[in-house]
Amino acid sequence: MQTLKSQQVAIIGGQRIPFCRANTNYSRSSNHEMMAESLSALVKRFDLKNQTLGDVSLGAVIKHSRDFNLAREAVLSSGLAAETPAFDIQRACGTSLSAALLIASKIATGLIDVGIAGGTDSISDLPIVYPDAYRSILLESARGRSLAQRIKPWLRLRPKHFKPSLPAVVESRTGLSMGESMEITAQQWGIGRTDQDTLALTSHANAERAWRDGFYDDLVTSHAGVSKDNNVRPDTNLEKLAGLKPVFNRSAGGTLTAGNSTPLTDGSSAVLLSSESWARERSLPIQAYLTFGREAAVDFVTKEGLLMAPAYAVSDLLNDARLALQDFDYYEIHEAFAAQTLATLAAWESEAFCAEQLHRDEPLGSIDREKLNVNGGSVAIGHPFAATGTRLLATLGKQLSRDGGRGLISVCTAGGMGVTAIVEAA
C-alpha cells in the first residue's frame, strides 16, 4: 500500500480493555468477550449504537474453531447495527494495524465512509488440540451408518490419544521460538543485557506515569473487574531486572529475560476511522490522520533476523512520505523484546546495513529516545498479539491530538514480517 491521501483518513479515537498477563484476571474471558467489550466501549463513547458502519476488520492470532467468524460475532455483540459487515484478518502481531490499513484504504478510496479496526488475543483460553489419531476415531465414528460402525472405531482408543498438543509460538521453518530467534539477532547486533534492561525500565516508568497522569482514562474501559494494565511494574529497577535469569538462551551469553521481554498477555483493542466529512457531519473531533502505511517481509530462514522486517518497511515508508527518520515527534515501536527495538534502532544507524540492505546513500540515523514509547511500551503494558497494533494507533492518535506533530508506528511480527504507519495531527 502506498499513500492514503486520496481522501484523508481520520482517526476518531480508540478503546481497549486493560491488558492482563496470561492466566490472571482474564482466565475465563474468551476472544469474543474481550473483543466485544472493546467494541462496545467504542460504540458508547462515540454514540454509534444501532448505526451501520461501512466495514469492520478484526482478528486474533490464537483462535478456537468456534471463532471462525469472530469479527462478525463481536460486531453483533457490540451495539452496532446488525447490518454492519465485518471480516477476520490475521497477520500475527501486526494483525490490527494491518486491519487499520485495510479499513483506511477503503476510506481513502471512497469505498466506505467509516469503519473499525481491532484485534484480540487470549493466551489463557488456548485451543487444545488432541492427536490426529483420536480425531480420526471421532470422525470415523461420526460417519458410521449403523451402531456397529459407530462403535467399532472406539475399540482403537488408547491412553495416548488423550495427550493434548498446546499451541506454541515457534516458527515451523526454523523450529525456533521468537525469543530464541531474537537471542541470535541480539548477538548479531551486539545488543547487551544492560541496554535491554534499561529500555525495559523506561517502558515501565513511562507506562506508570501515563496511568498516573490520567492519559489512559478515556482509552481504557474496565473488564472483568480490572481497570488498569496489570503488568506495569512501578517498583522495578535495574538491580531487580539484572537479577533475572535468561529464559531463551540459558548459557552465560543469554540476554533476554522475563523482565526485558513482552509477557504473554490477554486483551483487546479497537480504533474508529472515518472520512473527514463523516466526522464533521456528526461533530466528532478528529484526533489525527493515518497518512501512510507499509508492510514488508524478510527471508528469516536464510538471510535475516526473524523480527527485522520493520527496519525495511520503515525505510520504504519514509521514501513514500519523503521524510527523514528524524521528522517525527513520537515513535511507537512495538517492544516484542527490548532487544528487538534496540536492534531495529541499531540497523537504522548502521552505515553498512543501510547501504547494503536498504540501498541508501547514508544511514537513516538515530532517533531521540525521549520521543520513544512515551506512554509505555509493550514490555510494560503487555502484548495480546492481535491487539497491539490498534493499541499503538489509538495511543498515538490521542498523543498527537494533545501535542500536535507527527508519529511513526512500527510493529514486528512472526513469520518475518513488519507493519508500519505514519500518523499526523489534525
Residues designated catalytic = 93, 383, 412
Q: Is 191 exposed, middle or buried (0-12, 13-18, 19+ CB in 10 A)?
A: buried
> What one-character-per-residue DSSP string does 255-269 give?
--BSSSBPPBEEEEE
> What one-character-per-residue DSSP string does 263-321 give?
PBEEEEEEEEEEEHHHHHHTTPPP-EEEEEEEEEE--TTTTS-TT-HHHHHHHHHHHHH
User: How, if at all, do strands 288-297 and 114-121 pair?
Assistant: unpaired
Residues sharing a CB contact under 8 Å with residue 398, sequence separation 6 or more, in sequence order: 13, 14, 215, 218, 219, 287
Alpha carbon distance 102, 96 (integer Å):
10
Read off the C-alpha cell for 369: 529516545
Cα separations in angstroms, 233 against 60, 211, 381: 27, 12, 9
Alpha carbon distance 81, 78 (integer Å):
9
> What one-character-per-residue DSSP string does 137-201 give?
HHHHHHH-SSHHHHHGGGGG--GGGG--B----B-TTT--BHHHHHHHHHHHHT--HHHHHHHHH
Alpha carbon distance 101, 295 (integer Å):
10
- Which residue's entry shows cell 491521501? 5
Amino acid at 240: K
The distance from CA 101 to its chain's CA centroid, rounded to whole angstroms, is: 13
Alpha carbon distance 156, 137 (integer Å):
8
